[in-house]
């Protein structure tokens, strides 16, 4: 794709731009030539108007992002899943022209910040809508599914003050508040606990729910172009028949399947199967691979608000199978990182306040505490202390705060599954393969959106948590409880006792 192409996507807080560019790398001119020969993503920092940072500050910020991916998140997820990128410097004239070209393409909700056009610094990343590692010679069609799975467990912390948080997951509760605030027209039936269960029936239901109500949790790309999902909060393309038309050549290449409802159902079923198998695949190892923050048995394995769970209750079934995730798959690693949130925001907030009080007395210690970096080996090693015994020190509080930031990052990451059809004799041993009824695909799985969540966002998270829970208790649970209670009563086993007369 040439430098005059349209932007591939815009993500919160920065631009991603797909282009084949001849850029000046700081390392060498030879590397610049290699960049010209591959499809890459350029990421620029954005900032509120009239709050521009100096080139040195921009460079430092970008370096922190690269270091965090390289030295921290890659340890949790593995070498093949995380692509931390590298910093490049572009001619300022090119950056300004680029900014002018993409400005009309930007969603209105994202125009509250300006792209950095003064430093020339940007991050160069692989285009994850293509197979990784990308080979320039490959010209086969590429299908890519982007999923934002969200938090896959229910809080197990004793600090939780509302019992509903031990029964209903954050995502399902938040859906109702988002609909009330006008962000979405209707709540999604998707529940992250179904996707993270490892049970294929539950995973299929979760993925089908995402396809029915994609919101900003699912996007599908064909050869790098968005064909399904929301470009922003309002502009959504979610027509199953149109999706089936795009995907039919991938899953039924011999054209033996007629169009119509049956075709659409068959294509969607094959798509869900392929996504499930890719998510359960194990293609990498990592240093934190055997670290487990809490036994799964200590937390509830299902969410009471899940549409899948409610359907079981209606059918008189009370037992939910949880097969568990394979240790090597990306969902398992994502869940491990998420479960670094061991105290919940309610238990974490007092520790955050302890750190804040210390910083008010000794502001010069902020850099020593590594709140803003550097994100190096020493930073990662401190994250492995899973002790929950509070000794009253700032050190303990800081460790829990940093673990929470990692967990929040993992809760908001995106998983990219790139698929390309291949014949049996064409499939490379270097990449895994997934089979469908009529096709086979070579695929790669990657994770992105791994910027460390800001330390300053913790008060907002604490406030938001209260708003989500209070709205759910007042407007949703109060209406649902009598209905669900009756369903449970109808399905309870009864014993008939006969007394001698």
Give the model's confidence band at 51: pLDDT under 50 very low, under 70 low, under 90 confident, else very high.
confident
Q: For 36-50, what is each residue's pLDDT tens digit?
A: 446 789 999 998 888
Report the percent of the chain where pLDDT is more than 70: 79
Give yes or no for a contact between 216 and 148, defined as CB atoms under 8 angstroms apart. Answer: yes
Residue 367 and residue 369: Cα distance in Å, rounded?
5
Predicted local distance difference test score (pLDDT) of residue 233: 59
Give yes or no for a contact between 147 and 220, defined as CB atoms under 8 angstroms apart. Answer: no
291-294 long-range contacts, CB within 8 A, separation 24+: 291/336, 291/384, 291/386, 292/336, 292/339, 293/336, 293/339, 293/340, 293/342, 293/386, 294/156, 294/339, 294/342
Handedness of CA 111, 112, 117, 119 (dihedral sign): negative
> What's the full length of the chain, in residues?
501
Predicted local distance difference test score (pLDDT) of residue 438: 83
Whether pLDDT at 442 is above 80:
yes
Residue 432 and residue 441: Cα distance in Å, rounded?
8
Residue 442 and residue 426: Cα distance in Å, rounded?
10
What is the enclosing helix (H) or strand (E) of 445? strand 440-448
Whether pLDDT at 255 is above 90:
no
In order of 77, 370, 409, the CA distances from 367 in angstroms are 27, 5, 21
Which residues does residue 146 pair with via DSSP β-bridges, in sequence order? 219, 416
Q: For 59-107, what is each residue's pLDDT tens digit?
A: 999 999 999 999 999 999 998 899 999 999 999 999 999 999 988 887 7
Lowest mean per-residue pLDDT among 8-22, 44-58, 81-95, 352-366: 8-22
Q: For 203-212, what is each residue's pLDDT tens digit?
A: 999 999 999 9
Give yes or no for a contact between 239 and 227, defined as CB atoms under 8 angstroms apart. Answer: no
Q: For 168-182, what is each residue's pLDDT tens digit?
A: 999 999 999 999 999
Nearest 5°: phi and psi at 337?
-65, -40
Nearest Cα residue to 276 out of 224, 312, 222, 323: 323
Predicted local distance difference test score (pLDDT) of residue 320: 58
Residue 79 and residue 409: Cα distance in Å, rounded?
18
Would you give the DSSP letter of residue 277?
H
Report the percent of the chain where pLDDT is more than 90: 59
Class of residue 89 by CB neighbours under 10 A (exposed 0-12, middle 13-18, buried 19+): middle
Looking from the CA of 231 toward its CB, the CA atoms found within 13 Å total 14
Q: For 236-245, what is each residue's pLDDT tens digit?
A: 777 888 999 9
Predicted local distance difference test score (pLDDT) of residue 15: 40
Residue 339 and residue 123: Cα distance in Å, rounded?
29
Residue 110 neighbours by CB under 8 Å, 6+ apart: 10, 12, 232
Nearest 5°: phi and psi at 410?
-65, -30
Task: Decide: helix, strand or coil at residue 229.
Answer: strand
Q: For 194-204, what is each residue's pLDDT tens digit?
A: 999 999 999 99
Predicted local distance difference test score (pLDDT) of residue 293: 45
Give the model's confidence band at 319: pLDDT under 50 very low, under 70 low, under 90 confident, else very high.
low
pTM of full prediction above 0.75: yes
Strands 143-147 and 414-421, how do they pair?
antiparallel
Task: Decide: helix, strand or coil at residue 89.
Answer: strand
Give the model's confidence band at 259: pLDDT under 50 very low, under 70 low, under 90 confident, else very high.
low
């Amino acid at each position: 794709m040439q430098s005059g192409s349209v932007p591939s996507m815009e993500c919160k807080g920065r631009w991603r731009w797909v282009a084949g560019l001849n850029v000046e790398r700081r390392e060498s001119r030879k590397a610049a030539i290699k960049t010209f020969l591959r499809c890459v993503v350029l990421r620029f920092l954005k900032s509120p108007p009239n709050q521009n940072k100096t080139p040195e500050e921009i460079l430092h910020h970008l370096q922190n992002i690269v270091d965090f991916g390289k030295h921290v998140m890659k340890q949790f997820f593995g070498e093949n899943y995380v692509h931390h990128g590298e910093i490049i410097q572009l001619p300022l004239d090119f950056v300004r022209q680029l900014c002018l070209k993409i400005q009309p393409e930007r969603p209105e909700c994202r125009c509250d910040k300006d792209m950095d056009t003064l430093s020339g610094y940007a991050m160069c990343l692989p285009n994850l809508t293509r197979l990784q590692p990308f080979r320039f010679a490959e010209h086969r069609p590429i299908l890519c599914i982007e999923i934002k799975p969200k938090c896959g467990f229910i809080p197990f912390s004793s600090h939780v003050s509302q019992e509903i948080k031990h029964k209903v997951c954050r995502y399902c509760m938040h859906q109702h508040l988002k609909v009330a605030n006008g962000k979405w027209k209707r709540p999604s039936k998707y529940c992250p606990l179904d996707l993270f269960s490892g049970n294929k029936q539950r995973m299929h239901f979760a993925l089908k729910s995402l396809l029915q109500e994609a919101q900003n949790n699912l996007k599908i790309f064909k050869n790098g172009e968005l064909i399904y999902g929301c470009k922003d909060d309002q502009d959504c393309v979610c027509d199953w028949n149109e999706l089936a038309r795009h995907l039919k050549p991938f899953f039924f290449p011999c054209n033996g399947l007629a169009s119509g409802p049956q075709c659409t159902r068959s294509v969607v079923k094959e798509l869900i199967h392929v996504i499930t198998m890719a998510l359960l695949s194990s293609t990498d190892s990592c240093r934190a691979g055997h670290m487990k923050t809490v036994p799964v048995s200590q937390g509830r394995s299902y969410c009471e608000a899940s549409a899948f769970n409610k359907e079981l209750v209606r059918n008189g079934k009370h037992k939910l199978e949880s097969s568990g995730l394979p240790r090597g798959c990306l969902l398992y690693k994502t869940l491990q990182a998420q479960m670094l949130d061991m105290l919940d925001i309610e238990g974490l907030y007092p520790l955050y306040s302890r750190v804040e009080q210390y910083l008010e007395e000794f502001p010069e210690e902020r850099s020593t505490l590594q709140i803003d970096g550097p994100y190096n080996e020493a930073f990662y090693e401190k994250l492995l202390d899973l002790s929950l015994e509070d000794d009253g020190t700032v050190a303990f509080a800081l460790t829990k705060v940093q673990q929470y930031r990692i967990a929040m990052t993992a809760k908001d990451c995106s998983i990219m599954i790139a698929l390309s059809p291949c014949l049996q004799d064409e499939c490379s041993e270097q990449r895994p393969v997934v089979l469908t009824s009529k096709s086979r695909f070579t695929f790669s799985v990657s994770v992105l959106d791994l910027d460390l969540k800001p330390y300053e966002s913790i008060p907002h998270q604490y406030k938001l948590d209260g708003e989500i829970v209070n709205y759910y208790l007042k407007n949703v649970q109060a209406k649902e409880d009598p209905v669900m209670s009756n369903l449970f009563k109808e399905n309870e086993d009864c014993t008939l006792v006969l007394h001698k007369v």
